[in-house]
Structure 1
């Protein structure tokens, strides 16, 4: 379906952190780094036998030559079974060795890997030791007029993408006022510093309870700014988006969307990568314990 529409569907399979679901199964619990059941243990050879088997089952479903192995937010690394190795070698080098092992596993399945770059930003001196065909994903979801990490990855000589977000998760209405400058700035910096692409993210924290219809604005805005290099004016985009999606009344609909989005900026509403507005949907109405 995707290929017929000139879309390459790239698989993502968590291969380090964010493994709580599978590590929560009794038959895989022994692969965990710690009792938190969050990250795979990088010093256990069984981890790599498991991942190799998982790749063999998973990857044939995709024609893409790319595999996103995740590897972000490995906050328990070195706090469990790998503690001795981390004490001897340093957490950055243990992390790097795991990436090298993943690179070899993926190569055995005729794939090259992408990984999120947040952990490597804490150890920028190690980036140049990565295999040259590893693609780094520089993710930021807060609005800013600059993201210095783009220059760090550009100077590493490794291929990298910039990765903003739609800001449509953990909120009742998309946080457009945050998403637009986030997307626009990363698109501009990506072009300026030689990024190979832009990956616009829409996360499903808690199960992607945000309606897909609310995400389309961010999807199309991301595509527009990636195409223009972050030069498209918001007013110009809103006019075209409204006309194409909603017809003659498009300006009114987009205006309403923008007004709802601004509710997330009211006093007491903003949270990091979220808005308190979501609690209006998720809160227990008879108790109200999560809303002050």
Structure 2
């Protein structure tokens, strides 16, 4: 080859190779993760292993486990709840995940969302507030260092992952107590926040691990972000809102820290009675490509079993009996469709084609025709609106009765479809639709009972309707147990069934007592 041609070819290669690498990089994340929330709906260990195995088949290489009180801390035994795994089970699970090439990162909340620790008076000195136990006080560095060194050391001993997730999100009580108010006046909220986060990160780094934390508060108060060790990883969680929702997003991008993105497949306003399928599909379609463009090195699908807000039951002014999760959602067993959509989105550089994906999924999983797949999608996406104080929260004016009609139509569509395979998996969609119809039927009755003038005839009519509704509960509860019996413990299944219908029984008892 002539020298001139060789030189020209070399120049061309130099200019084209970076483009090739950029394209490959855009199509791939180093960390392809899934977040599993075990704060409620703690999975049986065989189900947990099967779930991890299914994720590995979808190309997932990282599992972020929010153990909360299901983890058996050796030196802090008060923290574990009745569904806690044994240490042998945890070790066994992590070995199993390693055998299928999944790295298990433990998530240990260490600032907000620590009710399950602070509920015990052993840790009372760490509380930011003596009625709201959700947050530790960042003005108690010695006590925080002692507790979280113990917890992180335990997690580091059982988890081989190079990471420990320290939480750090939604610190709503930041600057609340008198000590913290004084510090905020002196140094500001950002310094108050990052001093505590730095203490936690330094513990993690001292254990030879890399600290990971949620990015929302860092976005809100970014001034002292530079205090954190360079090994720190931020997770930018975005469930369908503008990038600057929490603060100036560009400051996070320019911070020099490694960043992972996080969409969601279960999040607000999802609960027992509503799943915003279209919201989650749009989130997958839009945010994952945005993370590629921003150069994020990881992506992690979050899956919240609850919002993390709790209702407290006290037997005296300061003596806590129990904490109840305010929001429950349908178990993770009903979300295979979104897990598969996530896998599709992270394996391709192109944004997810929602209609095309659902058609392919329905054909592959259920043997449904293209026409039936579109019907399936229409049923899932139908009117995912909340009700607040008797009013439908929708973009157009809508009554509860109209919303109920749409839910009945969606349930009828799902009942009419005939999957030729994976019928039990398909049954989750039918059950979720039936639970929604049950709920909206109750909401129409409740609205009548809350009318300005409730006549004796109206009361009798409401009671009759409530009786008919309660007759549906055994079949719904039986279907729920049948669909999720291999996933959850019997007592958890019973609790979910009771909570789902509690308001129905309360309203009936109130109205029935009126003579």
TM, length-normalised to structure 1:
0.86
Which of 164, 167, 170 is the matching residue for 2:266?
167
Q: Are the aligned partners of 2:234 and 2:258 in contact in 1 as well (CA < 8 Å)?
A: yes
Moved over 6 A (4+): none
> 14, 19, 39: which is aligned to 2:109?
14
Quick one: distance in 2 between partners of 1:255 and 1:213?
22
> What is the CA distance between 1:194 and its match in structure 2?
0.5
Report if aligned partners of 2:276, 2:381 keep a CA contact under 8 Å in 1: yes
* Structure 1 match to 2:286: 185
The whole-number CA distance in structure 2 between the counterparts of 1:201 and 1:258 is 25
Q: Deviations over 1:29-81 (max 9, x none)?
A: 11112222221122211111011011122332211111111010111121114
How far apart are 1:150 and its partner, in Å?
5.0
CA contact (8 A) 1:186 1:230 kept: no
Q: 1:55 to 1:251 in 2, by over 3 A?
A: farther
Q: What's the CA shift for 1:198?
A: 1.1
The corresponding residue for 1:285 is 504
- Report Cα offsets for 1:122-145 as digits up to 9, x if no partner: 12333334322211111122x34x
Residue equivalent to 2:347? 227
CA distance in 2, matches of 1:78, 1:171: 34
Q: In 2, Cα distance between the equivalents of 1:189 and 1:255?
A: 30
User: Is contact 2:190-2:223 (8 Å) kept?
Assistant: no
Q: Mean alpha-carbon deviation: is it higher for 276-285 or for 171-180? A: 276-285
**1:254 offset after TM fit, Å?**
7.2
- Partner residue, 1:78: 175
Question: 1:244 is matched with which residue?
Answer: 364
Corresponding residue SS for 2:382 = helix
Shift of 1:115: 0.5
Q: Which residue does the alignment assign to 2:32? A: none
**Relative to structure 2, which stretch is displaced further, 148-157 or 4-13?**
148-157
Number of the residue aligned with 2:148: 51
Q: Answer whether contact 1:39 1:74 (CA < 8 A) is retained.
A: yes
* 1:268 aligned partner: 392
In structure 2, what is the Cα distance between the partners aligned to 1:69 and 1:279?
39
Between the aligned partners of 1:25 and 1:250, the Cα distance in structure 2 is 55
SS at match of 1:156: coil
What is the aligned residue count?
283
* Residue matched to 1:212: 332
Deviation at 1:104, TM superposition (A): 1.0
Q: Is the 8 A contact 1:160 1:197 kept in 2?
A: yes
Q: Is the 8 A contact 2:305 2:331 kept in 1?
A: no
Matched, 1:200 2:301: yes
Structure 1 partner of 2:206: 108
CA RMSD of aligned residues (A): 2.8
Number of the residue aligned with 1:158: 257
Structure 1 unaligned blocks of 5 or more: none
> How many Å apart are 1:12 and its aligned residue?
0.3
For the 8 Å contact 1:167–1:202, the answer to whether it is kept is: yes
Aligned residue runs from structure 1 range 64-143, under 5 A: 64-80=161-177, 81-141=179-239, 143=240
| Alpha carbons of structure 1 residues 3 and 245: separation in structure 2 relative to 1, 3 Å | farther
Instruction: Confirm or deny: 8 A CA contact 1:177 1:262 kept in the other structure.
Output: no
CA distance in 1, matches of 2:159, 2:251: 32
Change (3 A) 1:57 1:245: same
Whole-angstrom CA distance in 2 between matches of 1:263 and 1:283: 24
Distance in 2 of aligned mates of 1:3 and 1:249: 39
Matches within 5 A, 1:16-31: 16-31=111-126
Larger relative helix fraction: 2
